[in-house]
Amino acid sequence: MPPFIRIQNISKKYGVLQAVDAVSFDLEKGELFSLLGPSGCGKTTLLRILAGFEVPTSGLVEIDGQNMANVDPADRPVNIMFQNYALFPHMSVFNNIAYGLQRASLAKNEINHRVEDLLKLVHLTGMGERKPATLSGGQRQRVALARALARRPKLLLLDEPLAALDKKLRSDTQFELVNIQEKLGTTFIVVTHDQEEAMTLSTRIGVMNEGQLVQLATPNEIYENPKTRFIADFVGDISFVPAKINRQDGDYWLMDAAVPIYAACEHNLEAGKSITLAIRPEKITLTPEASGKINEFPVRIDDWAFYGAGTQYRVTGPGGIKLKLFQSHNQPSNAQLRPDQIETGFIHFAPESIIILEDK
C-alpha cells in the first residue's frame, strides 16, 4: 500500500536559483500537515507544484497512487485556498462556492444542495446572495475555505490561511479549521511562516529553509528537539550559549561555557568540539536567593516585560552570558521578581532541558 501523498525528490530551479531542493516526504490520508519556513524558503513554490501551477524541474508527486505529472491544475484532485482568498469579486458567495461544481457540470439540484451544506459547514447559512466585498475578513476566509472544499479534493492546500485575519480572530479560526478538517477527513497541507500557526494546527510540521526540508516531525518534537540552530531559532523563543565539550561527568556532560554547564545527552559526544547550547526561556527558573541546584548561577536582570500569563526577563550572567527567560505566573511569588524590586537573582535549569546543537 503506497502512501496517500508521496512527494519524491522534488526540485525546482529558476535559472540559477534553486527554489526547491530535493524535497521528499509522504503524508497519510487525513493528516493536517504544515510547511513552515521564512519567506523565500521555497514552501510556496512547493505548494504551487502540488497544485499544478508550476512544473518541477525533477521529482515525482503522487496522490492516492496517481502520478500527477502532466495533470492540469483543473484536473487534479487538489484544491487550494489562496492567501488573500482570491474570491471572485463579481460573483455572490453562492456562486463563488458553486464555481467548481458548475465546472464539473453537476446537476443544479446537486449543486444547490452541496453549496447549502458547505455554507452550513462554515457557518454562513443565509449569506449566499452577498457579494464578497460586503463580508468581514473572517467571513471571506470561510467562503474561500468552502469554495476550496466544494469539489471534495483529496488534498487541500492552504496558503497562509490565517495571515489576513487580525490576531483575535485568528485563534478562533484555527480551532474551526481543525474541526472542519477532522470532520471531513480531508488531507490538508498548510503553508505558513507563522510557527505558532503551524504548531497549533498541524499533526506534523515540515520546516523548510533555502529550498530544503530541514526537519519533519511533530510540533512537540520540533520544539523540544530542533535539529539545527535555524530551526531552534525559527520555532519559538530561545537563547544560545557557545560552548565546548569538556567531558562526561556522571549522567551528564560538562560543557565549558562562560560558566560550567551540565547538559544531558543520550549519545556520545566528542570531547573538545565547539558546539552551541540552546535553552527555551520557560525552562529557566529565576529565584531571588541561591537554592543550590545544578546549573545555577547569579544574574543581573536587565529588562522585563509583563505578558499577563507570565513575565519575560532578559538577564546577564557571569562572563556576559545573555539569556531570555519566562516565568509563568502560576506561582504568586514569581510576580514579585521585578527589577524595580530586585536587580539581581539566581537562575537554574535542568540539564535535560538543554538542546545541544552540533551544526555550528
Partner 1 sequence: MMRIFFQKYGFLLVIWLPVGWLSLFFMLPLIEMINVSFSEARRAVPPYNPAFQIGEKGISFQPVFDNYLLIYDYWGDYLWPAVNSIRLAFFSTVWCLFFAYPMAWWIARSKKPLQHILLVLVLMPFWTSSLLRMYALIGLLNPNGVINDFLLWAGIIVTPIQMMQTDFSIYSGMLLTYLPLMILPLYASLVRLDNALLEAAADLGAKNWEIFRTIILPLSLPGVIAGCLLVFIPAVGEFVIPALLGGPEQLMLGKVIWTEFFRNRDWPVAAAIAIILIAIIILPVVYARYQDKEGLS
Query: Which residues contribute to the site for partner 1 (CB under 8 A)?
Result: 51, 53, 72-75, 78-80, 82-84, 86, 88-90, 99-100, 103-104, 147, 150-151
Nearer CB in complex with partner 1: 22/106: 106
Tell me if 327 sits within 8 A of 334, measured CB to CB. yes
Nearer CB in complex with partner 1: 99/326: 99
**Nearest distance, CB of residue 32 and partner 1, angstroms:** 20
Nearer CB in complex with partner 1: 188/326: 188
Tell me if 277 sits within 8 A of 259, measured CB to CB. no
CA distances from 278 to 163, 191, 233, 295 (A): 29, 27, 9, 14
**Nearest distance, CB of residue 153 and partner 1, angstroms:** 9
Pairing assessment for the beta strands 187-192 and 32-36 based on DSSP bridges? parallel
Nearer CB in complex with partner 1: 46/356: 46
Measured from the Cβ of residue 292, the count of other Cβ atoms closer than 10 Å reads: 8
Nearer CB in complex with partner 1: 139/312: 139
Coil/strand/helix, residue 99: helix
**Nearest distance, CB of residue 47 and partner 1, angstroms:** 11
91, three cell numbers: 460573483
166, three cell numbers: 487580525
33, three cell numbers: 500537515
Cα torsion through 131, 135, 189, 216, rounded to 10: 160
Tell me if 39 sits within 8 A of 193, measured CB to CB. yes
Nearer CB in complex with partner 1: 82/240: 82
**Nearest distance, CB of residue 147 and partner 1, angstroms:** 7
Nearer CB in complex with partner 1: 83/285: 83
**Nearest distance, CB of residue 95 and partner 1, angstroms:** 9
Tell me if 351 sits within 8 A of 252, measured CB to CB. yes
Rounded to whole angstroms, how far apart are CA atoms 132 and 139? 9
Among 152, 157, 101, 97, CA closest to 130: 97
